[in-house]
Amino acid sequence: MYRLARLSLVLAAFSLSACAADAAGKNDSAGEITITEFNAPVAQPSGYFGYGQDASVEEIAGWDIDIRPDGMGLPPGGATAEDGEMLYEDQCALCHGSFGEGVGRYPVLAGGEGTLSEDRPEKTIGSYWPYASTVWDYIHRAMPFMQPESLSDQEVYALTAYVLYLNDLVEYDFKLTQDNLALIEMPNKDGFFLDDRPDTSNEACMSNCKDPASIRITSAPPATEEVDSDVVEASGAEAASGQSTYEQACALCHASGVGDAPIPGDASTWAARIDAGREALIANALAGKGQMPPKGGQIQLSDEDVIAAVDYMLEVTAN
Ligand code: HEC
Ligand code: HEC
């Protein structure tokens, strides 16, 4: 419901400024602004401020998908880890590993118990998460990474059971249902607590205070090497941004070839594509192709950024 609430806040702010403009327009001849009509709240029809329309029950249900720790919000259903095993192998193991050990830098889903207080804690579902309900919610909401919300409720039960099984939290043939999911005790459930410390313990100085002009910020930013801007412009400022865009937005799939994404530097994965020409590759990177969403899913990127990333990928492959 949070996203919905935020949306209406934005709408309200927008409408307030519209009201102010309206009120200002109602100056009477004596130069006074009549605002009394804004004081008395009255029941409003649909489209309260004259914008948009009421969200329908179906629209609200589409957003209201959170599952509470007590299991509230779970749809009816149930499945075992056995039911989820093949599905997990098909849709999840390529990133998370057959045993939840994580492939490359994808998240590790199992293990790590007892490591939270070590120098390098391994936060997994079993070692870290306080509630089993979050596993259902997360998989349902966000996975598989490239097709979120594509799984049926039954599939989510099966995958949740399987991931819990990988963490030794349920047996292979245990049927996980809407009634027993919230009863599963997560090992780290007591590792979370309500942080009720006050925001600040400082008291405002009212007398005998320091002269503000005498206060200096003493820490300095780390020294950066001086860069000759002409040199940057001449040599590969574009290449650098292509590389950083690639690392931030494309490497996720392209570094390891997820879903048969061509791998920079591995010419065999590019050969047929390069034959189609740079323009075609760029067009597909912008518009999406197969399992790749437009701009690799990062629609905030400018076309130039995406083009630079494609050029970077081609350059690495050519060399
Ligand atoms: C293309 C790779 C990919 C595939 C396939 C994939 N995931 Fe993920 N998964 C990710 C990434 C990346 C994250 C971290 C996302 C983030 O932090 O925003 C993640 C996070 C998760 C998490 C939360 C882990 C944590 O500790 O925060 C769970 C649980 C999970 N995935 C389950 C699944 C399941 C179940 C499937 C199969 C239906 C699946 N994933 C398929 C890439 C993938
Ligand atoms: C979610 C995974 C994913 C991400 C993120 C991603 N790609 Fe891809 N990309 C793919 C897959 C899968 C293919 C192969 C598509 C096919 O051939 O059906 C592909 C293909 C391509 C191709 C070849 C297109 C062609 O015509 O054959 C280019 C170029 C490309 N990606 C560029 C990018 C760039 C640039 C980014 C980052 C801005 C990016 N990709 C991010 C998965 C991804």
Q: Which residue has the tokens 């249902």?
A: 177
With the most atoms of ligand 2 within 8 angstroms of its CB, the residue from 146, 274, 289, 306 to mutate is: 289
Tell me if 196 is assigned to some domain.
no
Looking at the 3D structure of the chain, how many domains does it have? 3
In degrees, to the nearest 5, what angle opens at C-alpha 37 toward C-alphas 35 and 42?
A: 145
Give the ligand whose atoms come closest to the C-alpha of residue 260. Answer: 2
138 C-beta closer than 6 A to ligand 1:
yes
> Six-digit token pair at 140?
């349902």
159 C-beta closer than 6 A to ligand 1:
yes
In degrees, to the nearest 5, what angle opens at C-alpha 275 toward C-alphas 271 and 280?
A: 115
> Six-digit token pair at 63?
């957003």
Same domain, 271 and 171: no
Distances (CA, A) of 181 to 64, 73, 131, 244, 295: 19, 12, 9, 42, 38
pLDDT in tens, 282-301: 999 999 998 898 999 888 89
Same domain, 299 and 244: yes
Same domain, 283 and 308: yes
Tell me if 280 is assigned to some domain.
yes
pLDDT reading at 185 higher than 90: yes
Same domain, 55 and 93: no
DSSP conformation letters of 137-196: HHHHHH-STTSTT-S-HHHHHHHHHHHHHHTTSS-TT--EETTTGGGPPPTTGGG-----
Instruction: Report yes or no: 111 and 122 within 8 Å, Cβ to Cβ.
Output: yes
Same domain, 160 and 114: yes
- Sequence-ordered strand ranges (E) for the chain: 78-79, 176-177
Tell me if 224 is assigned to some domain.
no
Q: Please indicate, yes or no, whether the overall pTM of this predicted structure exceeds 0.85.
A: no
Same domain, 153 and 253: no
pLDDT reading at 188 higher than 90: yes
Q: What is the span of the domain harbouring residue 184? A: 78-191
DSSP conformation letters of 236-256: THHHHHHHHHIIIIIHHHHTT
pLDDT in tens, 131-167: 999 999 999 999 999 999 999 999 999 999 999 999 9
Tell me if 217 is assigned to some domain.
no
Instruction: Report yes or no: 225 and 277 within 8 Å, Cβ to Cβ.
Output: no
Same domain, 163 and 119: yes
Atom of ligand 1 nearest to the CA of 259: 1
Same domain, 45 and 87: no
pLDDT reading at 309 higher than 70: yes
With the most atoms of ligand 1 within 8 angstroms of its CB, the residue from 83, 89, 106 to mutate is: 106
Tell me if 197 is assigned to some domain.
no
In degrees, to the nearest 5, what angle opens at C-alpha 122 toward C-alphas 120 and 127?
A: 135
User: Of the candidates 156, 191, 226, which is a domain's last residue?
Assistant: 191
CA dihedral of residues 39, 40, 46, 49 (deg, nearest 10): -10
CATH code of the domain in which 140 resides = 1.10.760.10
User: Of the candidates 191, 223, 256, which is a domain's last residue?
Assistant: 191
In degrees, to the nearest 5, what angle opens at C-alpha 118 toward C-alphas 130 and 92?
A: 50
User: Of the candidates 40, 63, 86, which is a domain's last residue?
Assistant: 63
Same domain, 36 and 120: no
Atom of ligand 2 nearest to the CA of 290: 18
Tell me if 12 is assigned to some domain.
yes
Rg value, the chain, Cα: 28
Tell me if 231 is assigned to some domain.
no
Distance between CA 303 and CA 284 in Å, rounded?
12
Q: Which pLDDT value is given to residue 241?
A: 86
Instruction: Report yes or no: 270 and 317 within 8 Å, Cβ to Cβ.
Output: yes
Q: Which pLDDT value is given to residue 283?
A: 95
**C-alpha neighbours within 13 Å on the C-beta side of residue 312:** 25
Tell me if 148 is assigned to some domain.
yes
pLDDT in tens, 37-93: 555 556 566 566 777 788 899 999 889 999 999 999 999 999 999 999 999 999 999
Same domain, 85 and 58: no
CA–centroid distance, 177 to ligand 1, in Å, is 22
Same domain, 125 and 187: yes
Q: Which pLDDT value is given to residue 282?
A: 96
CA–centroid distance, 182 to ligand 2, in Å, is 39
Mean pLDDT of all residues in 12-33:
42
174 C-beta closer than 6 A to ligand 1:
no
Same domain, 113 and 23: no
